[in-house]
Amino acid sequence: MLFGKECRRILTSLTFIIYCFVVGLFFVSQFIDENKGDPYIPDEKISEDHDIIIDSAVDCLANEYLANNYICYPLGFYKSVRLKEDDSQKVEECLLEITGLTHDELMDIRDSGEHYYVEHGIQETMYYEIGELPVSDTITYERFCELMGQVDDILGGGSKYKVDDLVANYSYVPMTQEDREAIISDLYDKDRVVGGYARLFSDYVGIDLGIMPVFVAAALVSADRRKRVSDLIYTRKISSLKLIFTRYTALVTMMFIPVILCMISADIHLIRYFDFNDLALYKMFTLPTFWLLPQLMIVTAAAMIVTEVFSSGIAILFQFAWWFYSIMADGARLSGSISKFDLVCRHNTVFGREEFMLSKNDFIFNRIFYFIAAIVITAITAYIYELKRGGRFHGIRLFGKNSIFRHKA
């Protein structure tokens, strides 16, 4: 009864109508328009060969260290970093440990080669032709990752030495004809075609679901106050737990319906381009639900609690910051970008099953974590609502009349 009422309120709200439009628009413009005909097969693949990774990374680090010019992409945008003497010294220590060289030997290599200039903006940076540096026999891959992590920290993050991205940054090798046949065979045999497209679908729709639900949830929660019905609802017999969870379930259910409709459309779209017998259509429902539902749940729960405690504006600001960070933190890396606490998981390719499977455990942990976190946050929201109902808490206004943190009158 109450669930139905809440669903009707959501259905008639302008924010929900815009939400549906945006989910549909992005689905059509990104998924449908971009996937007509045979899928694009990449030219390179990840080899995961530790020797290749160490060799390539150490050459790159030596080049940037000697030029003292590190190109970083914190949040995906260009930034050139120049280190001070003491930080540069720390990077050198890492470099020497990986190569097994001494300071003098490194300087000899630097001085024995030619140098050249590369333009970065209006500055010209001098680089040295140092060739391939040796790698110490005693260095293990684990220790190498540790040192790379230290270098990334010194550079302030977003560098080419971020541990999670080492494999993707340095182990790409050209694909042979056998490799191509293997990934096509993976798509047909292991993914049954739809599995690959389901990952791509989740990637596109996940971008919307990282931000759009906050508007629908914040508008619904703040509507009580706006329409001056909060006091009326406070006096009703229904428990706060039941009210908040019903409202939350209604929000999640209603906002997931357009996603389900997109899943159905995606399946129909695939039937047009592939042989029906090759398709495991159920995969368009299983993986995207596991991928997207926890994300929708956590965004909705966060929006509800922040709106109850502060205001809808702060909920939007908070969610935008979280979403922006999650999308941009991995820079230009669009596939296999999945870690334990990413809000938006990225895997923007039909192929790349192997790359996805590398992060499988993190992905499962991530989604289960957010699923549980969403329920816990909603329970806390119900408790806050109960406090407000009993007059023991009135929400926090950051900037009030008399003080920075003032309880609302």
Partner 1 sequence: MVSGCLAKIVFSDTRHNYLLHYLAALGVVLLTPVIFGVSRLDERLAAQPLEFFLPLMGAILMPAVFMPEQNESIRDVVRSKKTPYPGVCFMRLLCGAVFITVLTGAFVLYMKSMDSVVTMRLFAGSLASTFALGAAGFFASAVSDNVIVGYMTAVIYYICNFGLKDKLGVFFLFSMTTGSFDEKKWLCILSVVLIAAGFVLRRLFRER
Rama region for 161: left / alpha / beta (φ>0; ψ in -120 to 50; rest): alpha
The residue length of the chain stands at 409
Stretch that binds partner 1, among 41-49, 73-81, 348-356, 372-380 (CB under 8 A): 73-81
Q: Is residue 49 within 8 Å of residue 171, measured between CB atoms?
A: yes
Stretch that binds partner 1, among 3-11, 102-110, 142-150, 393-401 (CB under 8 A): 393-401
Q: Which residue has 């333009």 as its token pair?
A: 119
Distance (Å, whole) CA 74 – CA 54? 22
Q: Is residue 331 within 8 Å of residue 242, measured between CB atoms?
A: no
One residue of 257, 278, 398, 408 binding partner 1 per CB under 8 A: 398
32 lies in the binding site for partner 1 (CB under 8 A):
no
**Residues 314, 221, 324, 163: what is their CA dihedral angle, to the nearest 10 degrees?**
100
117 lies in the binding site for partner 1 (CB under 8 A):
no
Distance (Å, whole) CA 308 – CA 218? 9
Least separation in angstroms between residue 253's CB and partner 1 is 20
227 lies in the binding site for partner 1 (CB under 8 A):
yes
Sequence-ordered alpha helix ranges (H) in 27-84 = 33-34, 50-67
- Between 45 and 388, whose beta carbon lies closer to partner 1? 388
Q: Which two tokens stand for residue 21?
A: 């439009």
One residue of 52, 60, 75, 241 binding partner 1 per CB under 8 A: 75
Least separation in angstroms between residue 57's CB and partner 1 is 22
Least separation in angstroms between residue 154's CB and partner 1 is 16
Least separation in angstroms between residue 28's CB and partner 1 is 11
Half-sphere exposure of 273 (CA within 13 A, CB side): 16
Instruction: Give the closest residue to 249 by CA, choosing from 296, 319, 312, 316.
Output: 296
- Between 58 and 315, whose beta carbon lies closer to partner 1? 315
312 lies in the binding site for partner 1 (CB under 8 A):
yes
Q: Is residue 215 within 8 Å of residue 316, measured between CB atoms?
A: yes
- Binding-site size, partner 1 (CB under 8 A): 39
Distance (Å, whole) CA 390 – CA 407? 15
11 lies in the binding site for partner 1 (CB under 8 A):
no
Q: Is residue 331 within 8 Å of residue 351, measured between CB atoms?
A: no
- Between 143 and 408, whose beta carbon lies closer to partner 1? 408
Least separation in angstroms between residue 397's CB and partner 1 is 9
- Between 75 and 358, whose beta carbon lies closer to partner 1? 75
- Between 26 and 234, whose beta carbon lies closer to partner 1? 26
Residue 348 DSSP symbol: -
One residue of 154, 168, 194, 218 binding partner 1 per CB under 8 A: 218
One residue of 1, 104, 178, 228 binding partner 1 per CB under 8 A: 228
Least separation in angstroms between residue 323's CB and partner 1 is 9
Go through 320-338 and write b for each residue having 16 or more CB atoms within 10 A of its CB, e for each that does not: eebbeebbbbbbebebbbb
Least separation in angstroms between residue 84's CB and partner 1 is 14
52 lies in the binding site for partner 1 (CB under 8 A):
no
Q: Which two tokens stand for residue 50?
A: 């530790």
Stretch that binds partner 1, among 212-220, 268-276, 286-294, 379-387 (CB under 8 A): 212-220
380 lies in the binding site for partner 1 (CB under 8 A):
no
Q: Which two tokens stand for residue 344?
A: 């938006």
Distance (Å, whole) CA 263 – CA 281? 10
Q: Is residue 126 within 8 Å of residue 117, measured between CB atoms?
A: yes
Stretch that binds partner 1, among 47-55, 59-67, 116-124, 191-199 (CB under 8 A): 116-124
Stretch that binds partner 1, among 12-20, 110-118, 162-170, 240-248 (CB under 8 A): 12-20
Sequence-ordered alpha helix ranges (H) in 155-282 = 166-170, 177-189, 194-209, 212-226, 230-234, 240-273
One residue of 211, 262, 301, 306 binding partner 1 per CB under 8 A: 211
- Residues in the site for partner 1, rule: CB under 8 A? 14-15, 18, 22, 26, 29-30, 74-75, 77-81, 120-123, 207, 211-212, 215, 218-219, 222, 225-228, 312-314, 316-317, 320, 398-401
